[in-house]
Structure 1
């Protein structure tokens, strides 16, 4: 008996010593990087971080390093999975449980509870998305080290119950920012400001606005892990900086929250936020603010944190102060008095990088500690939210929204019998009139017909859904619904699925509440956009089905991308490509690059391609890759114009413009050749010798009186600027740039302006004026105040002149993305004389389709896009953001049409 006991004891000691030895071999950051994480004036590069993660994975049996894909610059993007050695042996099983519970289908409540008891909570922690927010990636390094090296009860308990997905969100950005900061030998000269390019190849800060669209490689990599592979129950997205006078802003967040969310999601965010806040106070770490203490809400979809909400995940965001260069917490008296948003204010003081790292690690441990204690509850709640979504999508339901509540109130106001009724409550009949109206029922499904004109763009829309884990069906035969026939191959997106909130959000209009600081006061700006309905922005044709839908439908594999199907074209002398199809422009560009003959039919803008020589080969190859059907031309059109590719210049600036970066990416996707130009080159003039078209995105052109906006992209010029970037500095000016642009147009050049850069029309003294102004008592014009007119990022419906070549391929009425965008009044004689042609306008007083529009009646009859003759050339002015974040496929052709000779 004693011998057996001694033998068991020896084995336990060997196991413990072996475990301790493994932990001891984990390299600490100082030994690898040459400095401890959080040391002032020191940043780690991605090259160093990649090598360190590989060391951790090799040294510790708690880790697995996964390459989740390549970045836009070709670097490996890593996710470090950390858990107990025992859990690491069964990762596949725990991943399967996480997926089963997240999707919810086919499980009873009892089965879900059993899986939740067996499973491990999965928590995502990322860092470095916004690379100039340097705390993010460095806290990731430090937390990874502590989780792989510490053997205290808290850490081992976390690892026993939790699987941690530590994800590097932006390798390219870390390499750029860290090398830029560390380039000075003198630490006191080190600064992050003045970086010459965006810290994501194309879109910089907008990499946190790409998570329902998933255009960029990095967001695709992360989206697959979040929405298809792992489906974590909690995800934590690190950012900075906190509001002035605080240290960190975190959950819970301010209203409004999106009405499609399950209420359990909101209370779960509150619970995890309380755990984070409590830990800060327990550890004497003051300065945490929540709810109205910061600007962050849970309305928006599209961010790394916010898109997870639409997938029943507890998404966390913190914004913390700090960086490698010591700074100060400023004195903000209003922040010093404790309140429910900030019960433990921070005092003004000098702040060091290590303090931010310590705070961040504590916050991570707070989240992981919560996941440890409530692992089975967290897993089951994921199932509960999924099953709620499935139930709602499979029954008749009516969701609340501000417009529906307004309809109830309006009905009651018009009832004279209610004059003497106690207005603290209304008769239920008014509720029933709206919330039981069959026309207002929630959708059960959406049908995307396969025979719509631009099916390849519809497939891109479906792939955006699929990348976020949404289930899609396809019809294996023709079918009929509500008297309408649909062809085989049509797609069906049902709402009786776990991610119903995301499905609704992509198809249905967002109904943002009227949110003002006080009655009659200024509006409270939404966090990012107010409306973004993707099906509208992409001009996808779909039918909304409110009743149960059955048919010859096949469920497609989850996460597997679609491709539009093309067939061998019928032999013909020539083929036509529709201007309404975005991918037609890809084929045209491939043909032009090959030197093939391409014409445009001036009757409708379609492309006419003789099937001669290399044309047929290029046509077949390009169309097959895209899934386009080649249509034989019935006859040669009488009015044809031979096309040539334009020499395209795209404005950019030192430090990088995100709108310009998005268009640069777009040009590559649609096979245009564009040259990036900077202000100095424009100011030199003689642009016609090199370019035919110049694109000026929002923020490029200086503001004009009563215009607002204006150029926003002037970066500070750092000392010792490398020679390769010296020609990028400066900004466009009225004095030098406008005359150069005028000369370019007068000699035949075309200038395309978007958003605030349409102010060029005012600088050119064209007969246009701002439509959104009012007269003051003094008899002068001023911009409408926000209390009267305010339209943050939303989707509006505009009317288009289909006969104008600039609008070829557009519908008569189409959706545009509008963000307090320019609207114009044009002198009647300028229109009648042919100098200016309106391209788009608001023909009714209520053009809002999705989002928030206060005072939208002011838009009626306002022109939102026009073209104007300037000498032998043209100015194209598009007030709406026609290429916004590469989401607005429905208006891409407004740009594409300008890019040919």
Structure 2
């Protein structure tokens, strides 16, 4: 028996149990190299296989969170102790309850916090060319699964780690592209042939409040419906020159709707991160004003969480599998509060960045392990704060409110008249009477809203539902009226949606409905502006043209709470008797989907340039579809699936009609991929517009009119024209040589040039083609010598016309309001005023005689000196009377210029029709008059 027992023990030692860390290969054993080795990258196929091997450990659980845009499986690896793995459902429930903070006392919350485990999200690879983030995720997973030191075991006991791959498609592309070169020293990421997210590349980190892309939807569900982590760590690169990385705390401004505990929570974790690096003699961490990053924007992966009371961490680190140099930047070498431990110039290897990243991850995880109960309680406390603020009168301290206090004081001082000892200015730290505070910050009309009502009775209810679904995807509690109701004397129909602010994620609700108030931010008084990190204003409810009422007092009604995370798809209807045909409103974006499906099936469709007689609710541009069995089948389905209210007509309209026909659409793109073009490509797919992507070589080849009817140029396609007539404005970089890239991508090379491309575009227009330009590509108007000029100029002392300097005029990404000519085909279905996304966008001045002769037709303009709706606009008075969009006939064709970003990131749905209306031909029907063009 003794020998048998000894043999059994020996066999046990030689044959580790399944799931034991010793049975899992190291990265070196799996990939053939250590993570961080110079000139070595994995692809996603290899990484997925490794994650599946790690998933055999009893410390892990591998979760498929959904498919990517290209159809790959996106994985999240849950790492915690074996004991915690058995109780994941309970710990998830605790995290959910504390994050939502509903119906919990402080004592109950503390009990749950004591029982629960901190949940920490760490991702990698969102921006796939930022290879440190991708590879550190692999190394961190291996370390957590294999290590047995006391710190790792403490982390596993007290923390649930969600290691999530943020962009599998991009990882596959970048890994394969880098490793394609057999000679390691020749490997490079340069000249990647396409975007590393199928449609939007780098903008995948700008999609997190709309969640248009599949990957962001997958991530959003885990964050805001499933797990509600208390901490999210989003890895990026690259750090500011002369440093190794930028990390928290970040520079001002932070968004004013955030709970202050978010800001101090980031301070605490940022201190833990930099302290660990300092203790490990790893210099080069910069923070505060040493970084260009702030906590203002709501669309990024690390920032969306802040609006949900989750501490979002960002680091931007240097590093590349190809060794690089840390440059000499003298001002970075003096220790200060931004960079207390500077790094010196040196050669830098990939492994150093991986080691830094793992140390930073461990700093966050160790903090969470030691403070797990406090972190759980803090997310509850912030949620409770939001519920309380949304349940009572509250005034947010926006810059415009503080400015109003100062202005009230100044106005009152001026009234005191000559001889007084007061001044109209307010010096720094000047104490004012509290009455001036009360005049603004206790004004009843300036209170924060208690909620919002989105009625069903709006021109484009289906788009309003898309807005509602964006909220629902992000964990917002939405309610719906089960019957008609009245609030504040106004009647609302059943089915209307209600969003109250007395809930934990109130900051996100305010940010989606309310305008952003970006502070005036200059390098010094009278100096140039400090550019915001990304956008200054983005209010989705404005850009989507959602109609809602903002309620300042508590209200109630026959409301039912919708299940958290359950998307809405209210059925539309075909109303009336369609014996003669059907009427679709041009005001509804989804009508264009229905029309494109009809055209694809061979069903006739017409437009009504002047609406319909006797039907005041039918605006110009409405679609008429004659009755037929095929039309009935398609429109019954469209009404149901697309939330469209379609009107059945017993009598064919007698008003003028134009027949709609599909056109051959071309969309410009470039080698490496244009994000704005990718967004439009995605948009056209969503709205069922067939199109062909073309490249500069296709344009230079000529014969465009034989191939296409419409060519769309997004921003940054057409170069500027300098006074000498030369094309300028493209970034100074070397384009790849044809022999440097695979043959399949060589037709994409080249750029739009004044010498070859512009003459072909002019010929296309003169032959009857349509060109639509957006943003900076409206430069084509100057190449074509149209009678327009830049409206944002002034005369200098030498009598020369020069563009306004930023000290006088500066509008980064913000929401502005324009006035439209609603009689034009280009604006059919749009209101007389609409909000547009403006990002240093072109504005035009048209020659009066050109307007009179019809050689230029204004479509949209600024009719006020204060068009700002959300964001930051310095010197906005210069915009008054400037034209933001126009149409100009060129030969037999039409040229459209839209200065604002009318398709911006798939978010500016209120201006999609500026594009859609140009994507059909409209021919006069027999016996009717021709529509206005």
Which TM-score band applies after superposition, normalised by the shorter structure? over 0.9
Aligned residue number for residue 639 of structure 2: 623
Specify the SS of the correspondent of 1:644: strand
> 8 Å contact 2:64–2:76 — kept in the other structure?
yes
Aligned residue number for residue 3 of structure 2: none
> 8 Å contact 1:564–1:628 — kept in the other structure?
no
Specify the SS of the correspondent of 1:301: coil
> 8 Å contact 1:700–1:713 — kept in the other structure?
no
1:172 to 140, 155, 169: 169
Aligned residue number for residue 520 of structure 1: 526
1:793 to 786, 792, 813: 813
1:717 aligns with 2:736: yes
1:651 aligns with 2:649: no
1:685 to 685, 699, 702: 702
* Cα distance in 2 between the residues matched to 1:646 and 1:301: 37
Specify the SS of the correspondent of 1:305: helix
* Cα distance in 1 between the residues matched to 2:455 and 2:730: 43
Partner deviation per Cα, 1:517-568 (whole Å, 9 max, x = no partner): 0000000000000000000000000000000011101000000000122235
Specify the SS of the correspondent of 1:126: strand
1:281 aligns with 2:278: yes
> 8 Å contact 1:656–1:713 — kept in the other structure?
no
Specify the SS of the correspondent of 2:127: coil
1:819 to 830, 839, 842: 839
TM-score normalised to structure 2 length: 0.94
2:50 to 49, 52, 55: 52
1:832 to 816, 839, 852: 852
* Cα distance in 2 between the residues matched to 1:134 and 1:716: 22
Shift of 1:162: 0.2
Report 1:474-485 matches (<5 A). Answer: 474-485=480-491
2:107 to 97, 105, 110: 110
> 8 Å contact 1:700–1:710 — kept in the other structure?
no
1:468 aligns with 2:474: yes
Specify the SS of the correspondent of 1:643: strand
More moved, 612-621 vs 458-467:
612-621
Specify the SS of the correspondent of 2:645: coil
Specify the SS of the correspondent of 2:286: strand
> 8 Å contact 2:140–2:358 — kept in the other structure?
yes
Aligned residue number for residue 826 of structure 2: 806
1:784 aligns with 2:804: yes
> 8 Å contact 1:654–1:715 — kept in the other structure?
no
1:124 to 121, 135, 141: 121
> 8 Å contact 1:798–1:813 — kept in the other structure?
yes
Aligned residue number for residue 489 of structure 1: 495
* Cα distance in 2 between the residues matched to 1:476 and 1:726: 58
Shift of 1:637: 3.6
> 8 Å contact 2:64–2:73 — kept in the other structure?
yes
Specify the SS of the correspondent of 1:395: coil
Q: Number of residues paired by the alignment?
A: 890
* Cα distance in 2 between the residues matched to 1:159 and 1:606: 61
Partner deviation per Cα, 1:209-265 (whole Å, 9 max, x = no partner): 000000000000000001110010000000001011100110000000000000011
* Cα distance in 2 between the residues matched to 1:21 and 1:78: 19
Shift of 1:482: 1.5
Shift of 1:23: 2.1
* Cα distance in 2 between the residues matched to 1:21 and 1:143: 18
Distance 1:642 1:864, change over 3 A: same
Distance 1:755 1:568, change over 3 A: closer
1:437 aligns with 2:454: no
1:182 aligns with 2:201: no
> 8 Å contact 2:16–2:23 — kept in the other structure?
no
> 8 Å contact 2:571–2:641 — kept in the other structure?
no
Aligned residue number for residue 616 of structure 2: none
1:552 aligns with 2:558: yes
Aligned residue number for residue 379 of structure 1: 376
Aligned residue number for residue 663 of structure 1: 680
* Cα distance in 1 between the residues matched to 2:880 and 2:275: 52
Shift of 1:714: 7.3
Two-structure CA RMSD over aligned residues (Å): 1.9
Aligned residue number for residue 245 of structure 2: 248
More moved, 779-788 vs 421-430:
421-430
Aligned residue number for residue 84 of structure 1: 81
> 8 Å contact 1:122–1:232 — kept in the other structure?
yes
Shift of 1:652: 0.1
Shift of 1:712: 5.3
* Cα distance in 1 between the residues matched to 2:817 and 2:17: 64
Distance 1:568 1:806, change over 3 A: closer
> 8 Å contact 1:700–1:711 — kept in the other structure?
no
Partner deviation per Cα, 1:630-669 (whole Å, 9 max, x = no partner): 2123641420011100100000000000000000000000
1:99 aligns with 2:96: yes
Report 1:345-744 matches (<5 A). Answer: 345-416=342-413, 420=421, 424-567=430-573, 569-572=575-578, 573-603=580-610, 604-633=620-649, 635-705=652-722, 710-711=729-730, 716-717=735-736, 719-744=739-764
More moved, 171-180 vs 410-419:
410-419
1:853 to 873, 885, 909: 873
More moved, 22-31 vs 442-451:
22-31
* Cα distance in 1 between the residues matched to 2:633 and 2:487: 40
Distance 1:642 1:712, change over 3 A: farther
Distance 1:865 1:673, change over 3 A: same
* Cα distance in 1 between the residues matched to 2:474 and 2:421: 52
* Cα distance in 2 between the residues matched to 1:632 and 1:371: 61
Aligned residue number for residue 863 of structure 1: 883
1:236 aligns with 2:236: no
Aligned residue number for residue 24 of structure 1: 22
Partner deviation per Cα, 1:127-169 (whole Å, 9 max, x = no partner): 0000000011100000000000000000000000000000000
TM-score normalised to structure 1 length: 0.97
Shift of 1:623: 2.2
> 8 Å contact 1:699–1:713 — kept in the other structure?
no
* Cα distance in 2 between the residues matched to 1:490 and 1:545: 14
> 8 Å contact 2:131–2:320 — kept in the other structure?
yes
Partner deviation per Cα, 1:23-72 (whole Å, 9 max, x = no partner): 211210000001111110010010000000000102x1000000000000
1:205 to 190, 196, 202: 202
* Cα distance in 2 between the residues matched to 1:585 and 1:405: 45
2:897 to 867, 877, 901: 877
> 8 Å contact 1:135–1:323 — kept in the other structure?
yes
Partner deviation per Cα, 1:56-108 (whole Å, 9 max, x = no partner): 102x1000000000000000000000000000000000000000000001000
2:41 to 27, 40, 43: 43
* Cα distance in 1 between the residues matched to 2:534 and 2:602: 44
Aligned residue number for residue 329 of structure 1: 326
Specify the SS of the correspondent of 2:836: strand
Partner deviation per Cα, 1:414-439 (whole Å, 9 max, x = no partner): 11377546962111111111111111
Aligned residue number for residue 3 of structure 1: none
> 8 Å contact 2:51–2:77 — kept in the other structure?
yes
> 8 Å contact 2:518–2:536 — kept in the other structure?
yes
> 8 Å contact 1:792–1:853 — kept in the other structure?
yes
Specify the SS of the correspondent of 2:408: helix
Partner deviation per Cα, 1:158-191 (whole Å, 9 max, x = no partner): 0000000000000000000010000010111110
* Cα distance in 2 between the residues matched to 1:139 and 1:848: 43
Specify the SS of the correspondent of 1:631: strand
Distance 1:374 1:709, change over 3 A: farther
> 8 Å contact 2:574–2:647 — kept in the other structure?
no
Report 1:749-788 matches (<5 A). Answer: 749-788=769-808
> 8 Å contact 1:194–1:715 — kept in the other structure?
no
